[in-house]
Amino acid sequence: MSDSRGARMSRRGLFGLGAAGAAVVGAGVVASNTLLDEAPVAHAASISDPFPFYGEHQAGVVTPAQDRLHFVAFDVITKNRAELVELLQEWTAAAARLTQGKEAGSFGAVGGAPEAAPDDTGEALGLPASGLTLTIGFGASLFDERFGLAGKRPAALADLPKFPGEQLIPEISGGDICVQACAHDPQVAVHAIRNLARIGFGKVSVRWSQLGFGCTSSTSRAQATPRNLMGFKDGTNNLKLEDAELLRDQLWASAQDGSAWMAGGTYMVTRKIRMAIETWDRTSLAEQEQIFGRNKGEGAPLGKQAEFDAVDFAAKGADGQPHIKADAHVRLAHPSNNSNAHLLRRGYNFVDGSDGLGRLDAGLFFIAYQRDPRKQFVPVQMKLAKNDALNEYIKHVSSGLFACPPGVRDAGDYWGRTLFE
């Protein structure tokens, strides 16, 4: 075994080499992959270039899904609109630095004043950018009377209905502002959220926070489909960054949708879904596969051979019964059975320790992006909540809905400018 295991590349060292050095890393990785004639390697790519921060859309949506998540929802505690805007500007500047592998601000030891608290907490010193993206969203509660935003609440940010069976915990639901941090290294994702919280001291308060790992839905055709904690491939038919036309139709909000400030933005739904994994683990393979409507090993639709074979909902087996049952998850959720409603899913597995009753507290932190939840998440989830055979093994315990503004165009722009100006 190599002694290099576990050692880390210096953030400063990597970026001191500039783009040429980073490109060499990429080339080395590709070379080793091609010899294996296999899917490319996730972890090697974690040291490659950072993702661009500036752009028409926020990063972290169609960005090829990174492996780790730290998600936070804040309550705004200042009542001063100017202070909130100033915070968004400070956060934007910090995010532009953090996503490029830099510290949040000047670090005491290298230029800061020793009598002041450092402008970066330090735990990511020496770590590369690790593909960090930071994606902000505004919850419906921000559009109350505090900041004069009531008239700007988008129609698509309508409160979610109550879904049958959900058991939501208010303390870990909602929030005025959310930030999704995704990276290939959890320390980098945690460092980013923690520094945003530090910068927001006295203006925002952490309402709830969630760590996740193993993004359960690939968002690019170049990625292999990962598995959720039920052991099934998840996201085979996910909206992917290569689906340009669908992304335009179903992901990005347009000025014609009624809220001009959201043009280029998107709407994020979060659902923390606790799984009864101990019960699931004692369920037969045949039942598990019937519930999903796919086989477990390959992820192929029942009655088909390969993962990406088209699902045939009419096909019947020798017994005259449909291969895919009426209450199978894939049948109920499939766009062809939902007026062609797609979602860009970007959820993560979670394990939050144990529940005090001898069971792991584990499941899926579901995240989905879309142009209009009223036409996409809501009708699909209503159908699932009523009929999905999977409901016996899952429980929705938290919920969030956020309007994610368009991307930050350049260093003179900031998160939410179109909303506040």
> Beta 204-215 vs 344-345: how paired, if at all?
unpaired
Closest separation between CB of residue 154 and its own copies, Å?
27
Is the CB of 110 or the CB of 326 nearer to its own copies? 110
**Which range binds its own copies by CB under 8 A, 152-160, 203-211, 317-325, 335-343?**
203-211
Number of other residues whose CB lies within 10 A of the CB of residue 171: 9
From residue 214 to residue 253, what is the string marking binding to its own copies with x (rule CB under 8 A)?
xx--xxx-xxx-xxxxxxx---------------------
Instruction: Output DSSP code: residue 197.
Output: H
Bridge partners, 268 (sequence order):
369, 402
Residue 144 or 278 having the CB closest to its own copies: 278
Residues of span 56-75 touching its own copies by CB under 8 A: 64-68, 70, 72, 75
The span of 294-302, 317-325, 331-339, 413-421 binding its own copies (CB under 8 A) equals 294-302
**Residue indicated by tokens 């009598």:** 115
Q: How many helices (H) and strands (E) does the chain have?
A: 11, 9
Question: Residue 100 CB, nearest distance to its own copies (Å)?
Answer: 13
Cα distance between residue 378 and residue 103, in whole Å:
39
Q: In the window 247-286, what residues touch its own copies (CB under 8 A)? A: 277-278, 281-286
How many residues of this chain bind its own copies (CB under 8 A)?
A: 127
Residue 19 binding its own copies, by CB under 8 A: no
User: Which of 66/92 has CB closer to its own copies?
Assistant: 66
Phi-psi region of 128 (alpha: psi -120 to 50; beta: other; left: phi over 0): beta
d(CA 172, CA 210): 9
- In angstroms, the first-to-last Cα distance of the chain is 57
By CB under 8 A, the residues from 128 to 187 that bind its own copies are: 131, 171-172, 184-187
Question: Which positions ≥6 away from 319 have C-beta within 8 Å?
Answer: none
When binding is defined by CB under 8 A, the residue of 54, 56, 81, 110 that contacts its own copies is 110
Write out the binding residues for its own copies, residues 350-369 only, by CB under 8 A: 351-354, 356, 358-362
Listed ranges 154-162, 260-268, 344-352, 403-411: which one lies at the site for its own copies (CB under 8 A): 344-352
Angstrom distance (rounded) from CA 317 to CA 302: 10
The CA distance from 250 to 266, in Å, is 9
Which one of 1-9, 157-165, 260-268, 322-330 is the stretch in contact with its own copies (CB under 8 A)? Answer: 1-9
CA distances from 28 to 11, 37, 65 (A): 18, 15, 22
How many of the other CB atoms lie within 10 Å of CB of 43?
10
* 2 versus 256: smaller Cβ distance to its own copies: 2
Contacting range for its own copies; rule: CB under 8 A; set: 21-29, 81-89, 132-140, 411-419: 21-29
The full DSSP string for 345-370 is E--EEEEEEE-SSSSEEEEEEEEEEE
Judged by CB under 8 A, the chain residues 397 through 416 that form the site for its own copies are none
